[in-house]
Amino acid sequence: MLTKRIIPCLDVKDGKTVKGVNFENLRDAGDPVELGALYSQQGADELVFLDITATLEKRGTLVELVRKVAANINIPFTIGGGISSIEDVSACLNAGADKVSINSSAVKNPALIDSLAKEFGSQCIVVAIDTRHHQGIDLVHTHGGTKATSIQTIPWAVEVQERGAGEILLTSMDHDGTKGGFANVLTSAISHRLNIPIIASGGAGNMQHFVDVFTEGAADAALAASIFHFKEIEIPVLKHWLADKGISVRNS
Q: Is 212 a catalytic residue?
A: no
Instruction: Output 35 or 196, the one with its CB closest to other proteins.
Output: 196
Annotated active-site residue in 45, 51, 88, 130: 130
Instruction: Output 74 or 150, the one with its CB closest to other proteins.
Output: 74
Instruction: Output 139 or 224, the one with its CB closest to other proteins.
Output: 224
What type of residue is 246? G
User: What one-character DSSP code corresponds to residue 45?
Assistant: S
Shortest Å distance, C-beta 3 to other proteins: 5
Look at strands 16-17 and 5-13 and give their pairing. Answer: antiparallel
Binding site for other proteins (CB under 8 A): 1-5, 40, 45, 70-71, 74-76, 93-96, 98, 120-124, 166-167, 192, 195-197, 218, 220-221, 250, 252
What is the enclosing helix (H) or strand (E) of 8?
A: strand 5-13
Using CA atoms, how far residue 26 sits from 29, 32, 33, 159, in Å, is 6, 11, 11, 42
Instruction: Output 106 or 221, the one with its CB closest to other proteins.
Output: 221
Shortest Å distance, C-beta 195 to other proteins: 6
- Which residues, 6+ apart, have CB-to-CB distance to 47 below 8 Å? 7, 8, 9, 10, 36, 39, 40, 69, 73, 75, 76, 77, 78
Contact 120, 93 (CB under 8 A): yes
Shortest Å distance, C-beta 147 to other proteins: 30
Q: Is 138 a catalytic residue?
A: no
Shortest Å distance, C-beta 200 to other proteins: 14
How many H-runs (helices) and E-runs (strands) does the chain carry?
A: 10, 11
User: What one-character DSSP code corresponds to residue 2?
Assistant: P
Active site residues: 11, 130
